[in-house]
A and B are shown apart, each in its own frame.
Chain A
Amino acid sequence: MEYVIEMNNITKVFGNFKALDDVTFKVKKGEVHALLGENGAGKSTLMSVLFGLYQAEKGSIKINEKSVKINNPNDASSLKIGMVHQHFKLVHNFTVLESIILGRETVNMGILKKDDARKKVIDLSKRYKLRIDPDAYISDITVGMQQRVEILKMLYSDSEILIFDEPTAVLTPQEIEELMKIMKELVNEGKSIVFISHKLNEIKEAADRCTVLRKGKYIGTVDVATTTKEQMSEMMVGRKINFNIDKNDIETGEAILEVKNLTVIAKNSKKNLVNNVSFEVKAGEILCIAGIDGNGQSELVYGITGLIPINEGQVLLKGKDITKESVRKKSLDGMSHIPEDRHKHGVILDFDLKQNAVLQTYFELRFQKNGFIKFNAVKEYAKKLIKQYDIRSPRDEDSTVRNMSGGNQQKLIVAREIDKDPNIVIAVQPTRGLDIGATEYIHKQLIAQRDQGKAVLLVSLELDEVMDVSDRILVIYEGEIVGDLAPKEITVEELGLYMAGSKRSDKYEKN
């Protein structure tokens, strides 16, 4: 049994927190080995130890049967270990070529020699069928191409062991297929691959074996072909998961939110980020806008909520034209927004919980008089939200939000927005980065709103979330709506085709 990677009894601690607790991980040469676990299970940490970004407090590593010490990425590199990170490590204003050679430049007395490098890169790109343009700037190329640049970085330094950290998070289903093919190609050439994921479908499709981690502990290693998704997910969470969300059918009412011919043009490129989009969200329905990151859904929501200006079109709330209203007025008219980026928009990290609880409402008469804050009222309100929505924090309403976990920060935002008793809730990627418990909770809240007759506009790229939570799906691709689908009537694969722009509903044919 030849193991190309052997990590034995690895323990990694951050302060008081044990990220990895006596974990053993072994990869055979030439296999595709998946590393499965929820967010926070320790998968990325384990690979970071392998890649030299962190050093384990206990345990040992063997590469190709030899004991090694990996103290930094350079050591990992010389052991022929390469890593494609979840968040690409690319410089936006470097060219593809510069990005690939960074750290491994060919030089003559310090002066860059780009021609030799260029040749090698083009050769590699042809050999592994990785299409790239060496002189394009990173900021101009697609996410799929960026990932290929990351892969080429590894191949350029002759990596034999390739680690992929959640590689499919930002790819279309078609790009994911391409990636699977590329991985097979790499394995054919004798490389060994580890890929980190929490997506059972992909693991089933691509991996030979799978190791499961839960809360920093090693749970087991299974042969993928002979293990069901249900078995793997049970190992992952420790309990049986109900894959179907309980949802009753509800009759929908009037249109609460109407969007008509909405267009948002990019400031400098004159490109239509949102292109003539129209739709409506009815009372008692969860409408989901599904699409791969970067197809205009962010700008669509920012335009509807007023965070960015709209070039053309109208937004109506319960029949009233709110297109030109300020962010605050829209909120007062009954629009709630759970933002995509909770640290950027949703909370002020340096404020405490109670100050964040009234972020949207501090100016109301119940919280201020003549410009002076009514501190007791604010405190009581925060306490109420904490109790009702089970928000956990170090010092309750006095906790600095920065010291709260992501899940609880999100719960606070959801609590605040829902407690406003809005007419419509706009939730963008509301469960991003959250564990199963928090995710279930937030889904429940959204469904509860819908059951009460509110309108919910959900924007998501998590296929499970899209299929299970929504009543109706609109697919957005390159700024346009390309499909209006009922989740009960389509398959995930079909949904993927729409998201990738390969299919369009008749209604939305391009003229």
Chain B
Amino acid sequence: MSTVYFLAQQTMYFAIPLLIVALGGMFSERSGIVNIALEGIMVVGAFFGIGFINIFQNTMSGQTLLLLAVLVAAAAGALFSLFHAFAAINLKANQTISGTALNMFAPAFAVYTARMIQGVQQVQFMDTFYIRSVPILGDIPVLGQMFFRNAYITTYIGFAIFLISWFIINNTRFGLRLRACGEHPQAADSVGINVYNIRYAGVIISGILAGIGGLTFVIPTSTNFNATVDGYGFLALAVLIFGQWRTQKILVAAFFFGIMKTFASAYSGIPFLKVLPISNEVYKMIPYIATLVVLTFSSKKSQAPRAEGIPYDKGSR
């Protein structure tokens, strides 16, 4: 049973960043802008977030420090995403190229800045945020062990983001208008909605969430940031597509992959698996192979936003 709890806790570390970033991607794409720069934005968010912790961890610690770092990561991600927004919306550039450029820039920037400032490229930090057990909630039988022990506050932030995103997309004026811009921007424009502004908002939200996602990825799994998020930004895109751009399905998809990843890295903790002569690399491949299999069967009937990737031109009727 303790294995199950262990797996559940580990899954959180992998699933939550995927969830947050995929939701960010959703806001961008449903407003009409393809954003494959999620990987790069995660790197930027993680870099500034971890950097912030590194600088201030002598004077602050614990959840306060982490929460401030989350804000820093969000801001950094938002600012970085503006480059993509500007290229895609104002200049009507090819969004895949713009996204790729950001993905290339981010890790190079992280390495360069880290080495220029502190000489080495890994940015270290002390983990003072680990929550052994949430008061009261952690003592609930079964569920307490699974969700409220060996956790980080970022996990709960992730769930909050999910609930807020779901609400915004479905029940607010902003959500309605955002969806219109992604499906049929001419319709939105003809009722006086400013498509450009809404799309900017969509991209900036994706920047905020991807930034937070980057930080959320590094904190539970490491003690330093090494200018990479191991392809998580791209995995988040897969989650977005598998989740058919809808919040609830994205949640399911994120946890599916989270479980796969956990399996891959934690299999040595499962007694009977440890003995099998399957090499470590095979386990590492599993999440990626699983993604391929799943996508193969779910791509036929896509609900991608119809106007995504197409720059909006007022002249076209």
Residues of chain A whose beta carbon lies under 8 Å from any beta carbon of chain B: 14, 44, 48, 53, 72-74, 77, 83, 85, 87, 89-94, 98-99, 101-105, 107, 110-112, 153, 268
Query: What's the minimum C-beta distance from A140 to chain B, rounded to whole angstroms?
Result: 15
A14 to B180, CA, bound (A): 28
Answer yes or no: B112 CB below 8 A from chain A CBs: no
| Bound CA span A83–B301, Å | 34
Question: Is the beta-carbon distance between B192 and A89 smaller than 8 angstroms?
Answer: no
Find chain B residues with CB under 8 A from A104 CB.
Answer: 191
Which B residues lie within 8 Å of A85 (CB)? 190, 317
Given A99-B187, A107-B173: 17 more A-B contacts, CB < 8 Å = A53-B189, A53-B190, A85-B190, A87-B186, A93-B183, A94-B176, A94-B183, A101-B176, A102-B176, A102-B193, A103-B193, A104-B191, A105-B173, A105-B176, A111-B172, A112-B173, A112-B176
24 cross-chain CB contacts under 8 A: A44-B317, A73-B189, A73-B192, A85-B190, A85-B317, A89-B191, A90-B184, A90-B187, A91-B187, A93-B183, A94-B176, A99-B187, A102-B176, A102-B180, A102-B188, A102-B193, A103-B177, A103-B188, A110-B172, A110-B173, A111-B173, A112-B171, A112-B173, A268-B301
Residues of B within 8 A of A99 (CB): 187
Known contacts A110-B174, A112-B172, A112-B173; A91/B180 CB under 8 A: yes
Residues of B within 8 A of A102 (CB): 176-177, 180, 187-188, 191, 193
Does chain A have a CB within 8 A of B179?
yes
Distance A49 CA – B314 CA, assembled complex (angstroms): 13
**Set of chain B residues within 8 Å of A105, measured between Cβ atoms:** 173, 176
Q: Tell me how far the C-beta of B306 lies from the nearest C-beta in chain A, rounded to whole angstroms.
A: 7
Indicate which residue in A14, A89, A103, A268 contacts B186 across the interface (CB closer than 8 Å): A89
Separation of A413 and B176 alpha carbons in the complex (Å): 42
Compute how far the CA of A390 lies from the CA of B231 in the bound complex, rounded to whole angstroms.
56
From known contacts A105-B173, A110-B172, infer whether A87 and B317 are also in contact, taking CB-CB under 8 Å.
yes
CB–CB B317/A74 < 8 A: no
Measured as residues with beta carbon below 8 angstroms from the partner, the interface class of chain B is 20 to 34
Inside 8 A of B177's CB, which chain A residues have their CB?
Answer: 102-103
Interchain CB contact under 8 A, B191 and A103: yes
CB distance from A376 to the nearest CB of B (A): 35
Q: In whole Å, how far is A350's beta carbon from the nearest beta carbon of chain B? A: 14
Check A91/B174 contact, CB under 8 A, given A73-B191, A103-B193.
no
- B176 & A92 in contact (Cβ 8 Å cutoff): no
Closest to B181 in A: A91
CA distance in complex: A90, B185 (Å): 10
B171 contacts which chain A residues (CB < 8 A)?
111-112
Q: From residue A86, how far is it (CB to closest CB) to chain B in Å?
A: 8
Expressed in whole angstroms, the minimum distance between the Cβ of A53 and any Cβ of chain B is 7
Which residues in A have their C-beta under 8 angstroms from that of B189?
53, 73
The answer on a CB contact under 8 Å between B172 and A74 is no
Point out residues on B near A: beta carbons under 8 Å. 171-174, 176-177, 179-180, 183-184, 186-193, 301, 306, 314-315, 317
Q: A87-B317, A105-B176, A110-B174 are in contact. Are A92 and B183 (CB under 8 A)?
A: yes
**A308 smallest CB distance to B (angstroms):** 16
The interface residues of chain A lying within 8 Å CB-to-CB of B176 are: 94, 98, 101-102, 105, 112
Contact between chains at A94 and B174 (CB < 8 Å) = no
- Chain B neighbourhood of A83, CB < 8 A: 190
The answer on a CB contact under 8 Å between B184 and A103 is no
Residues of B within 8 A of A93 (CB): 183
Decide: A89 near B172, CB < 8 A? Known: A77-B192, A103-B192, A153-B191: no
Closest to B193 in A: A103
6 tightest CB-CB pairs across the interface, nearest first?
A103-B191, A89-B187, A74-B192, A73-B192, A105-B173, A89-B190
For residue B177, give the distance in angstroms from its CB to the closest CB of chain A: 7
A268 to B184, CA, bound (A): 23
Question: In the complex, are the beta carbons of A91 and B184 less than 8 A apart?
Answer: yes
Within the assembled complex, what's the spacing in Å between the Cα atoms of A89 and B190? 7
Closest to A109 in B: B172
A73 proximity list for chain B (CB < 8 A): 189-192
> Which residues from chain A contact B179 at a C-beta distance below 8 Å?
91, 94
Most chain B beta carbons < 10 A, residue from A74, A90, A102: A102
Question: Chain B residues near A110 (CB, 8 Å)?
Answer: 172-174
- Residues of B within 8 Å of A112, CB to CB, are 171-173, 176
Cα(A386)–Cα(B315), bound, Å:
31
Chain B residues lying within 8 Å of A103, measured Cβ to Cβ, are 177, 188, 191-193
Inside 8 A of A153's CB, which chain B residues have their CB? 191
Residues of B contacting A90 in the complex (Cβ-Cβ under 8 angstroms): 184, 187
The smallest beta-carbon distance between B299 and chain A, in angstroms, is: 15
**Closest CB-CB distance, B268 to chain A, in whole Å?**
46
State the Cβ distance, A222 to closest chain B Cβ, in Å: 28
Q: Which residues of B contact A94 (CB under 8 A)?
A: 176, 179-180, 183
Q: Which residue of B lies closest to A107 (CB)?
A: B173
Which residue from chain B places its CB closest to the CB of A77 in the assembled complex?
B192
How far is B174's CA from A98's CA once the two chains are assembled, in angstroms? 13
- A72 to B, closest residue via Cβ: B192
Q: How far is the CA of A14 from the CA of B306 in the complex (A)?
A: 28
A77→B192 CA distance, assembly (Å) = 8
Q: How far is the CA of A107 from the CA of B176 in the complex (A)?
A: 12
Tell me the smallest distance from the CB of B250 to a CB of chain A, in Å: 17
**Chain A residue contacts of B190, Cβ below 8 A:** 53, 73, 83, 85, 89
Contacts of B301 in A (CB 8 A): 268
A53→B298 CA distance, assembly (Å): 40
Min Cβ gap A369→B in Å is 37
Shortest Cβ gap from B282 to chain A (Å):
38
Contact of B191 with A91 in the complex, beta carbons under 8 Å? no
CB–CB B183/A91 < 8 A: yes
Q: Which residues of A contact B180 (CB under 8 A)?
A: 91, 94, 102
Complex interface: chain A residues within 8 A of B172 (CB): 107, 110-112
Q: Which of B173, B186, B189, B301 has the most CB of A within 10 A?
A: B173
Q: Closest Cβ of chain A: how far from B219's Cβ, in Å?
A: 32
Chain A residues with CB under 8 Å of B188's CB are: 102-103
B192 CB to closest chain A CB, in angstroms? 4
Task: Quote the shortest CB–CB distance from B275 to chain A (angstroms).
Answer: 48
Give Cα distance in the complex from A92 to B174, angstroms. Answer: 18
Question: Which of A77, A91, A105, A268 has most B Cβ within 10 Å?
Answer: A91
Tell me the bound Cα distance from A99 to B179 in angstroms.
11
For B317, the chain A residues whose CB sits under 8 A away are: 44, 48, 85, 87
Residues from chain A with Cβ under 8 Å of B306 in the complex:
92
Within the complex, what minimum Cβ distance (angstroms) separates A345 from chain B?
19
Most interface-central of A89, A94, A107 (chain B CB within 10 A): A89
* A48–B314 CA distance with the chains assembled, in angstroms: 12
Q: Which residue of B has the minimal Cβ distance to A99?
A: B187
Q: How distant is the Cα of A111 from the Cα of B183 in the complex, in angstroms?
A: 21
Contacts of A98 in B (CB 8 A): 176
> Bound state CA distance, A266 and B205, in angstroms?
39
How far apart are the CA atoms of A94 and B181 in the complex, in Å?
12
By beta carbon, the residue of chain B nearest A106 is B173
What A residues does B184 contact at CB under 8 A?
A: 89-92
Task: Report the minimal beta-carbon distance from A74 to chain B, rounded to whole angstroms.
Answer: 4
Contacts of B183 in A (CB 8 A): 91-94
Closest to A110 in B: B172
Closest partner residue, chain B, to A157 (CB atom): B191
Alpha-carbon gap, A110 to B164, bound state (A) = 13
Q: In the assembled complex, which residues on chain A have CB atoms less than 8 Å from the CB atom of B186?
A: 87, 89
Q: Write the nearest CB–CB distance from A111 to chain B, whole angstroms.
A: 6
